[in-house]
Amino acid sequence: MTAVRVYPLTFEPLFRNYIWGGRNLEALFGRKLPPGIVAESWDISAHPSSPTRVDSGPLAGLTLPQVQDRLGEALVGTRSRWATDRGRFPLLVKLLDANCRLSVQVHPSDPYALAHEDGELGKTEMWYVLHAKPGAELIYGLSRKTTPASFRAALEDGTLSDLLHCLPIKAGDAILVPTGTLHALLGGVVVAEIQQNSDTTYRVYDWGRAGTDGMLRPLHVDKALAVIDFDRVCPQAYRPVVVAESNGLRRAEISRCRYFVVEKVELEGEAAYCGRCDGSTFEIWGCLSGQAEVRWAGDPLPLAVVRFALLPAALGDFALQADGRATLLRAYTPE
């Protein structure tokens, strides 16, 4: 490995133009977009299909997988040694503009995906709702206990909606979506998504909608039925757990699973969050509202709204300082 001093990393986003997208990332948050429909902005990604490139500093131009090859454990930390061994960065960060409803879908667990998807991982994810139109909902789990046979029959006779749990949502809600959970954003919603580094999705139902080629998009019913958690009945949004509150700083845990912990960090006035990347885990920070900057041993890194930064595990001491009032997301890997 070439010796490179680690520093906070930001990336050039990559965009995907699925049929359910829109222009809300531009209209609501000022994100510069290419022409046409934009459904997803992949902001920190090492997935082979869409690796993001560092946009500044000594590592500028390198993709995140190339940075991981260069820095190894100094980037991901000791808690993610498995990722270093596999050459895989653990997490992926996106913005989703669900201008129209997504397909009803489910993600497999790691064991199922590794066995059936050519070595791909499963996909646990979380959403933080940045914007929701009045009355917005999402599909989240089942409305009642059912069986794979009854579920398939409902698909075939057009009564699937009777089995789907619709959850009202608003800006500021956090939704943890474990593997096996049926889910779909239903339109009029923009979310930040933090997830396992995977793109494995099984579509169950797509509203009879054609793709850009005029053909119905493929479904994956058999695989979906093999992985759906039929015990996920009427789940609710993640209840925030306040972990610190004093002197203009408030931290609340809004998702926790074996792959990541996500906190909502609110800063007011001159308040700052002071932390240390001690070699155990990287941290990902995103600014959701207001403005903030990452302060460390080098030049401060400004974070504008819906902008994310990756702090390498070996970065050392750092602070997040707000300019007035700001709301941020913090993600890291648990022990």
Catalytic residues: 203
DSSP letters spanning 160-174: GGGGEEEEE--TT-E
Q: How far apart are CA 303 and CA 308, in angstroms?
A: 7
Asked if 27 contacts 97 with a C-beta cutoff of 8 angstroms, the reply is: no
Q: Which residues of 93-117 are buried (b: 16+ CB within 10 A; e: fewer)?
A: bbbbbbbbbbbbbbbbbbebbeeeb
Q: Which residues of 53-88 are buried (b: 16+ CB within 10 A; e: fewer)?
A: bbeebebeebbbbebbebbebbbbbebbeebbeeeb
Which one, of 187, 193, 207, 206, lies nearest residue 135 by Cα? 187
Eight-state DSSP code of residue 135: T
Q: How far apart are CA 269 and CA 264, in angstroms?
A: 17
**3-state class (DSSP) for residue 118:** coil
Which one, of 44, 21, 10, 27, lies nearest residue 193 by Cα? 44
**CA torsion angle 164 39 119 183 (round to 10):** -10
Strand positions, DSSP E, 202-322:
202-205, 241-246, 249-256, 261-269, 272-277, 283-289, 292-295, 301-303, 307-311, 316-322
Give the strand pairing for 183-185 and 189-196.
Answer: unpaired
Residue bearing tokens 């793709």: 211
